[in-house]
Structure 1
Amino acid sequence: MKQIPLAIGPEPVFTFDNFLPGANEAVLAELRSLRPGASFAATVPPIFVWGQSGSGKTHVLKALAGSWQGAGLQVGWYGADTPLPWDLPAQPSLLLLDDCERFDAGQQHAAFALFVEAASDGLTIVASGSAPPVDLPVREDLRTRLGWGITFELQPLSEQDMRSALRLEAGRRGILVADDVIDYLLTRFARDLKHLMALLTRLDEFAMSTKRAVTVPLLRQMLADEGLNP
């Protein structure tokens, strides 16, 4: 009988320190430099970060949220999976809009309303999407607001950086991952770091449930059990 593992593994941690920047040093420098508006009457230009799936957009937004919350500031998070209505925190300083390309009509209306609120209260907005604002499938007034400030493209990590990221996450989970396991992940699956991290999480849980070490044969067995081609 296969044991069902309890959800006792460490939750993902999203910080600037555990984000491998690769060619994205300028993005991180800009986000780290953000400070609350000096005047509530000021209009703070937004920042828009875009890139392909798994490039780290959500990671950097969550890292930014964590750094502001750590300083005692209120952050509002609004993603495509955040149900309406989108209410502001009691004393907001930073508003984050994630996966803008997935916003439905109601969420697009709510996002535009947040921009109006931000303009009047001097709030900072940082948003993300899969494409630059000009190419997003959103209403024109929202597209204009998203593209008004600085726009950054997150560049994909190199293979070496991918390996480093997987090893960093494995070490955080306390599991030993040999080179052949990482080779298998990088050669058999799309180099989408978000997807690869999810695979690593499932592999860790599967190893705990079977009480076996993390190896390529174990990875193949997990994929076969999931109905995937190992």
Structure 2
Amino acid sequence: MKQIPLAIGPEPMFTFDNFLPGANTAALAELRALRPGAAFAATVPPIFVWGGSGCGKTHLLKALAESWQSAGLQVGWYDAETPLPWELPSQPSLLLLDDCERFDAGQQHAAFALFVEAATQGLTIVASGNAPPVDLSLREDLRTRLGWGPTYELQPLSEQDMRAALRQEAERRGIHLSDDVIDYLLTRFARDLKHLMRLLTRLDEFAMSTKRAVTVPLLRQMLADEGLNT
């Protein structure tokens, strides 16, 4: 009988230190330069990062949140899964809007209201989307606010960087990821790092439940059990 593993594996970590920038050094440097507390001196333009799925947008926003929260400041996080009404923290410092293209009409109205409140309090806003603000299907006043400040397009990682990211996450989990397993992942699945990281999480859990090492045969068995073609 196959054992069901408990949820004891390490939670994903999103920091600036474990973000592999690839060609995205400018965006990383801009967000690292945002210092907690600096925004209170004057209103600063929002920063917008955009790109395709798996390019690291959410990672960067979560890393920024971790950095500011570590300094004891409150961060407001808003995405399509955040239920309305959207309320500011009691002592806000930084507002993060993730995957803006997914906001429905009510969330778009709430996001614009956050911009208005941020302007009166000198707060920093960093947002993300799958396209530059001008190309998003959002209400005009919100698109204008999102595109007011610096905008950075995030480029997907090279194959070498993607391999490094998978190895880094595997090492953090305490599992050995051979070249054969990485080759299998990169040749049979879309090179979307977010999707590959989810596959790695499932593979880690499957290996624990079967008490076997992570190998290509184990990966094939897991995919077969999930009804996926191998």
Whether TM exceeds 0.5 here: the answer is yes
Quote the residue 2:88 is aligned against: 88
Query: What is the distance in 1 between the residues matched to 2:43 and 2:20?
Result: 32
Q: 1:40: how far off?
A: 4.7
Where 1:88 maps in the other structure, the secondary structure is: coil
Quote the residue 1:67 is aligned against: 67
Quote the residue 1:142 is aligned against: 142
CA deviation profile, 1:159-183 (whole Å, cap 9, x unmatched): 0000000000000000011100000
Match runs of 1:29-44 below 5 Å: 29-36=29-36, 38=38, 40=40, 42-44=42-44
Where 2:221 maps in the other structure, the secondary structure is: helix
Q: CA contact under 8 A between 1:75 and 1:94: conserved in structure 2?
A: yes
Quote the residue 2:57 is aligned against: 57
Q: CA contact under 8 A between 1:78 and 1:86: conserved in structure 2?
A: yes
Q: 1:36: how far off?
A: 4.7
CA shift in 2, pair 1:40/1:64, >3 Å: closer
Query: What is the distance in 2 between the residues matched to 1:10 and 1:40?
Result: 35
Quote the residue 1:167 is aligned against: 167
Aligned-CA RMSD value = 1.1
Q: CA contact under 8 A between 2:61 and 2:126: conserved in structure 1?
A: yes
Quote the residue 1:194 is aligned against: 194
CA shift in 2, pair 1:112/1:216, >3 Å: same
Q: CA contact under 8 A between 1:108 and 1:142: conserved in structure 2?
A: yes
Letter in 1 for 2:102: R
Where 1:17 maps in the other structure, the secondary structure is: coil
Deviates more, 1:31-40 or 1:126-135: 31-40
TM-score normalised to the size of structure 1?
Answer: 0.98
Q: CA contact under 8 A between 1:163 and 1:182: conserved in structure 2?
A: yes
Q: Does 1:129 align with 2:129?
A: yes
Identical-pair percentage: 87
Q: 1:137: how far off?
A: 1.1
Query: What is the distance in 2 between the residues matched to 1:127 and 1:19?
Result: 17
Letter in 2 for 1:195: H
Query: What is the distance in 2 between the residues matched to 1:40 and 1:182?
Result: 45
Quote the residue 1:105 is aligned against: 105
Letter in 2 for 1:155: Q
Q: 1:43: how far off?
A: 2.3
Letter in 2 for 1:124: T
CA shift in 2, pair 1:39/1:58, >3 Å: closer
Q: How many residue pairs were aligned?
A: 230
Structure 1 stretches of 5 or more lacking a match?
none
Query: What is the distance in 2 between the residues matched to 1:191 and 1:96?
Result: 26
Match runs of 1:203-218 below 5 Å: 203-218=203-218
Write out the 4+ residue segments of structure 1 that deviate beyond 2 Å after TM superposition.
Answer: 35-43
Letter in 2 for 1:225: D
Quote the residue 1:227 is aligned against: 227
CA deviation profile, 1:74-109 (whole Å, cap 9, x unmatched): 110001111111110011010000010000000000
